[in-house]
Chain A
Amino acid sequence: MERRLDVTFAALADPTRRAILGRLAKGEATVMELAKPFNMTQPAISQHLKVLEDAGLVVCRVDGTRRPRRLAKDGVEAMDKWLAMLREALEKNYNRLDNVLLTMEQHKKGKTK
């Protein structure tokens, strides 16, 4: 389970992949359809899609010769989780910084006494 979380986190750490998820949130798309607006080659898009598929965030559908990708349910939740993680990490940092600043101020006051 933990490995899966790491894989998800690594998949989401890349802005291009988050952007692909953002695009797929609007509806399914083929590699060709994704490559155009992203101004990237199809192999480059395919590589990003493979990472997203391995992480369980994107699924592939077979439609004749087309292979449209769409967001897996986990993909929607993962976008949410990634943001919540960013928010939580920042909040933790700044709460710690509050205490550090308090110590700095007390130290300064002690010196000037």
Chain B
Amino acid sequence: MSEMILKTEGDTHILVTRHFAAPPEAVFRAHTDPQIIQKWLLGPEGWTMPVCISEPRPGGKIRYEWANAKGQGFYLTGEYLELEPYSRIVHVERMHLPDPTPDNHVETRFDADGAGTLMTLRMTLPDAETRAAMLATGMERGMEASYARLEDML
């Protein structure tokens, strides 16, 4: 199991890095093939993804619908902007809860890392600069607490 790193970058970005023990081609496919996405992009325990639409081409649609045993659900829609097999994906997404959240712009890179892959996910929040700076302030506070908790566990 590999450690995931989550951190803020500048005022508007969130950066996530994670190593996988499989080549970039496999990790890229796992992020674009709807049948594979349905197996892992599920969030907390107890949720399934009964609907998964992923059209990996520029302008292609993304729609993920999650549901739990209690009949609750929410969904995400988005569009692919750029795809470079098997190294890079750029897409936008928004959650519907049911009101849509503002667009989240995401760039995902897959770089060969030994026999595996280093994945780098970069989210760009759509907020105006001041708003983003404030968000980053709030997030960093939370993240410090999370890191502290993590260190306690190690």
Residues 56 to 90 of chain A near chain B (Cβ within 8 Å)? 79-80, 82-90
Q: Most chain-A CB neighbours within 10 Å: which of B22, B127, B138?
A: B138
Complex contacts, B30 vs chain A, CB 8 Å = 97, 100-101, 104
Q: Count of chain B residues with Cβ under 8 Å from any Cβ of A?
A: 45
User: What number of residue pairs across chains A and B have CB atoms under 8 A from each other?
Assistant: 123
B135 to chain A: closest CB distance in Å? 4
Query: How many A residues are at the interface, by size bracket?
Result: 35 or more
* B60 interface contact, C-beta 8 A: no
| Residue ranges of B at the interface with A (Cβ–Cβ < 8 Å) | 1-2, 4, 6, 16, 18, 20-22, 26-27, 29-30, 36, 39-45, 95, 97, 99, 101-102, 125-128, 130-132, 134-139, 141-143, 145-146, 149
Q: Residues of A at under 8 Å CB distance from B?
A: 10, 13-16, 18-23, 25-26, 37-39, 79-80, 82-102, 104-105
Listed by A's residue number, 16 A-B pairs whose Cβ atoms lie within 8 Å are A13-B95, A13-B101, A14-B99, A14-B101, A14-B102, A15-B125, A15-B131, A15-B135, A23-B134, A25-B138, A39-B130, A92-B44, A96-B39, A98-B20, A100-B36, A101-B26
